[in-house]
Structure 1
Amino acid sequence: METKNSASDAPELAEPYLRAVLDTAGLAVEYVRAEGNTLFQRGEDGGEIPVADFAGGYGSVLLGHNHPAIVARARELLAAGSPVHAQFSRHPYANELAAELNRIIHRELGDQEPYFAIFANTGAEAVEAAIKHAELDRGMRVAALGARVAEEIGAARAAVAEGTAALSARTRARFGAAAGEGRPAALEAVLAGLERANAGQLERPPLFLALERGFHGKLGTSVQLTHNEHYRTPFKSLGAQARFVPHGRPDVLKEVYAQERGVLLSLELTDGQVEVVEREFPVFCAFLVEPVQGEGGIHVLGAEFAQEIQRFCAEIDCPVVVDEIQSGMGRTGALLSSSQVGLRGDYYTLAKALGGGIAKTSVMLVREARYRREFEIVHSSTFAKDSFSCEIARTVLALLEADGQAAYRRATERGRALRAELESVQAEFPDQVLAVRGRGLMLGMEFRDQSQADSEILRELATSGLFGYFLAGLLLREYRVRTFPTASAVNTLRFEPSLQLADDEIALLGAGLRELCRVLRAQDGARLTVPAAP
């Protein structure tokens, strides 16, 4: 069915199906201006209607829409003709940005190991870069292991051929070499058995670990590490293999390791005997973790489980990729939300608020112990590391760090005030609100399932996969409050406003949520729907 663009009455060609879905929920409004914590909606008379923005660009506008200092810096850069396209040249602004990120990370981690920066344009691209780098690193470790095994087997083979060592009974038995069989024949049988066993291991694809409910993007590889099967399944033939681990279950980590562990078989000389030994094969490429799961329903990683993940990955030499795309950049009261639970990443991905709501930029950081310089040649991005986005990101960091890191304290304080209001609503409507979760200015409210509601409309909405969007639609229409559900947990509304969040906006949201709860309690499903246009 053709959708019309109301502004021009032309056919809607820019994602028309999505536009139609937004129409049904009452969210397909046009915003014409943005300032601070406010978006301005175009009214029917062409005027502006202020809307309190609790969606915050999915966490991108922590400092507020069109922050004056960021806008001024952007204008300054554009007026000066700052070169956006100067690829394959010296980029001092990128290096200075990387240095400032390192300075803050060192403070939060209490460690001075440097992190090397690979810049990108979006969060999903930063995740893809981390995945690619981790696989490059794994591949180089596999090659080194293969060379070591080949050297060990060659040394054992020579020793047996020279008569200075003999195959042990265990080695003969393992590969079917008869006890009375001559030395050359027995040796060939063992070597053939080793080759067969190792060939299967060397052909194994990398295996990734990720948490259940996790979201790491929708690109070709990152979507396979996103838990939501509706995003993964259509593209399962394209991407990486992953095992998903439930929160707080270190026993599952051990089970997955036992099931998936791989070894290369080698030969070792011990007291004139040739014995078969196992060399750990790096099957696991990386473990991806969000400190606060955004799209998965605003679930916070606990400190105890974070430490279990850290220990497990250290034991099996699996790098930890900490996805801070939504939770990082000060939103939870620190540059790295993971630092608040004692989790240290081998990789970090930062995006969204890094660009100050204006520049489209992201970064993947790799600790020195893991870094492979070869990656800089095999990976690149046209718009990454440009002067405009790097200078805007430096301005963002300066604002976060100003006045003794006041912005982090502000995020904590405003988050505490917002959470108190959400918990007040939950206490008043426990029959409708299941939980309030999150940290800092990254909070969520989960509503109880309505799939068995008395109202037919509510039942249909609850099973449509769009329930949260209709909740958000009522808040927008009746209270001029903008928020969205989390993509993989549509009963959970997310709240990621800016640091400029005011008390009266918190009160307005509280009033809207209370009315929403009264609508659900009364089973008034019709209030959530938008009447069809005549």
Structure 2
Amino acid sequence: MNSENAVPELAEPNLRALLATAGLDVEYVRAEGNTLYRRSETGGESVEIPVLDCAGGYGSLMFGHNHPELLAVARRLLDDHTPVHAQFSSHPYANSLAAELNRIIRRETGSEEWYFATFANSGAEAVEAAVKHAELDRVLRLAELTERIEATGDQVRAAVDSGAAVLPDEVLTRLGVERPAGTGAAGGADAVEAALAKITEENARLRAKAPVFLALEGGFHGKLMGSVQLTHNAGYREPFAALGVRTRFVPDGRPEALEEILKEEGATLLQLVVEDGLVRVVEHPHPVFCAFLVEPIQGEGGIRPLSKELARSIQAFGEAADCPVVIDEVQSGMGRTGALLASSHLGLRGDYYALAKSLGGGLAKASVMLVRESRYRPQFELVHSSTFAKDSFSCHIALKVLELLEADDGRAYRQATERGAALHGALERVRAAFPDVVKDVRGKGLMLGFEFQDQSLADDETIAGAAGTGMFGYVIAGHLLHAHGIRTFPTASATNTLRFEPSVLLTDDEIGRIEKALTDACEILRAQASDRLVTSS
């Protein structure tokens, strides 16, 4: 309850209460570079306390908070009264942004194919746009195949009626159809009709099957109605299972699982054709697979990089099953790993890409779905739209972000690599000093995870209780905030792992502060001294 006006907490009050238990319900009033300033009451006066931001907007702040060059663009746009709402008109700036993205993607992947852009406002929306486009493409491919299959029916009828073709018994046997009494191999219009009816029935049964989606165990692709069903975390997904799509989750470390899924879900549509005077059955793969969703580095799953072996298996599966690969670069993309696309380090090529977060420079809510030319369906532009997407403000901000990334022959990419390596080294030093407390350090560039050992059986009841309720990472984050002025959070589906996603502005002094703070937290855990944890100030 707000005591000043007696208005109850109405903006997600349960979340606010949960944050309060770990001391994370602070108010930030200003931001610059890697620093957030939180409000605190001291001696009856409101003061600002600087906080080193290592969460970085969940990877949205490649260039930090309120980067001066991005602010200058934003101010100019606003001063010039740039139109935010000019839907259903020409947007040359959006085309320029799509072209620049294409130029960089071509350089990184070696692809000569164009990628067409559909703009959106968030990562989850970009993912859903990719899934919708993939399903439209699948439905149209299935319709085209069905039309070709049905078109040959009349040809078969005419050939058999005229005596130009014979319907062999083995064809009927394969279809499970008995030759009607009184018809012979040389004739048998009734037999042809029975065969065609059986094929029509079986093909219709397959066409009615729901599409199959694939995603990786541990993957996170959003919490909207469709994207949440592609997210592995059961706590997010299962309450809405009745609304969602059918997803098969693929475990890492078992590439053979893809072969098993292809055998279990794959099927063929049948067609009768005439070849050399005989009626034959031709098989066509049924396009049941809609899309394979992949994060090159799983963000909310614990900052887990995709292995090159699994990347190769996914690419091979996509080609074998005619299943488009949707690469979710929402958190890992935009230079954070030393390249525009983290997937380019793996040699993994997407049929679709989803980019967001740092695309908006920390100022604009911008995302984009890119689909390669050979899969592109122009009809999609008429059945999908987004009110605030493709506007002048967000597109120009995004163009400036790309300009900053590409400046000085890609200096920002090199900074991400170098600063990430320096931070990784600091985290590794802490892990090496506390192997009983720290389980792993992983990631790439400025997308790193710091995983603690499981503390659910800890001697300290407070620490064990926090671990048992999934609050352990939040309690440690609260301690880092109040004792050391460092802001980070655990990843959503792996709450023993803290995320470190600062900007390229990260300094050696800031890395030193992070190392000192984590060392303190590890000493507390080793000593099982929860009384030393600070979650308020």
**Which residue identity lines up with residue 19 of structure 2 in the other structure?**
L
1:40 partnered with 2:37 = yes
Residue 291 (structure 2) aligns with: 286
Are 2:129 and 2:369, in contact at CA under 8 Å, matched by a contact in 1? yes
Take 1:365 and 1:277, find their aligned partners in 2: how far apart are those partners?
Answer: 35
Equivalent residue, structure 2, for 1:152: 152
The match for 2:129 is: 129
**Offset at residue 180 of structure 1 (A):** 5.4
Kindly report which structure 2 residues correspond to 1:245-256, keeping only aligned pairs within 5 A, or say none.
245-256=250-261
Flag structure 1 segments of 5+ consecutive residues without an equivalent. none
- Following the alignment from structure 1 to structure 2, what is the Cα–Cα distance between the partners of residues 157 and 495? 67
- State the TM-score, normalized to the length of structure 2: 0.96
Partner secondary structure for residue 375 of structure 2: coil
Task: Report SS of the residue matched to 1:113.
Answer: coil
Q: Do structure 1's residue 232 and structure 2's residue 237 form an aligned pair?
A: yes
Alignment check: 8 A CA contact 2:64 2:503 kept = yes
**What does 1:442-521 correspond to in 2, within 5 Å?**
442-521=447-526
1:198 deviation in Å? 1.1
* CA deviation after TM superposition for structure 1 residue 456, in Å: 2.0
Q: Is the 8 Å Cα contact of residues 329 and 353 (structure 1) preserved in structure 2?
A: yes
Match runs of 1:91-490 below 5 Å: 91-174=91-174, 175-178=176-179, 181-182=182-183, 183-490=188-495
Q: CA deviation at 1:366?
A: 0.8
Q: What's the counterpart of residue 7 of structure 2?
A: 10
Does 1:24 find its partner at 2:10?
A: no
1:169, 1:179 within 8 Å by CA — same for their partners in 2?
no
Q: Structure 2, unaligned stretches of length 5 or more?
A: none
The alignment partner of 2:374 has SS state of: coil
Which one-letter code corresponds to 2:87 in the other structure? Q
The equivalent of 1:64 in structure 2 is 64
CA distance in 1, matches of 2:405, 2:117: 20
Deviation at 1:185, TM superposition (A): 3.1
Distance in 2 (alpha carbons) for counterparts of 1:167 and 1:414: 71
How many positions carry a matched residue from both structures? Answer: 529
Summarize deviations over 1:7-31 as a string: whole Å, max 9, x none: 7663110000000000001100011
The 1:529/1:149 distance shift into structure 2, 3 A limit, reads farther
User: Aligned-pair distance for 1:64?
Assistant: 0.7
Distance 1:7 1:298 in 2: 42
Asked if the contact 1:474/1:527 (under 8 Å) is kept, the reply is no
1:527 shift after superposition: 4.0
Q: Percent identity?
A: 61
Runs of 4+ displaced beyond 6 Å: none
Looking at structure 2, the residues matched to 7 and 360 of structure 1 have their Cα atoms a distance apart, in angstroms, of 33
Q: 1:5 to 1:438 in 2, by over 3 A?
A: farther
What is the match of residue 78 of structure 1?
A: 78
| In structure 1, C-alpha distance between the alignment counterparts of 2:503 and 2:182, rounded to whole Å | 77
Alpha-carbon distance, 1:261 to partner: 0.3
- Secondary structure of 1:10's counterpart equals coil
Q: State the Cα distance separating 1:350 from its structure 2 match.
A: 0.5
Amino acid at match of 1:42: R
The answer to whether the Cα contact below 8 Å between 2:483 and 2:534 also exists between their aligned partners in 1 is no
How many Å apart are 1:529 and its aligned residue? 7.1
Cα contact 1:212–1:227 (8 A) shared by 2: yes
Alpha-carbon distance between aligned partners in 2 of 1:402 and 1:88, rounded to the nearest angstrom: 33
Shift of 1:272: 1.9
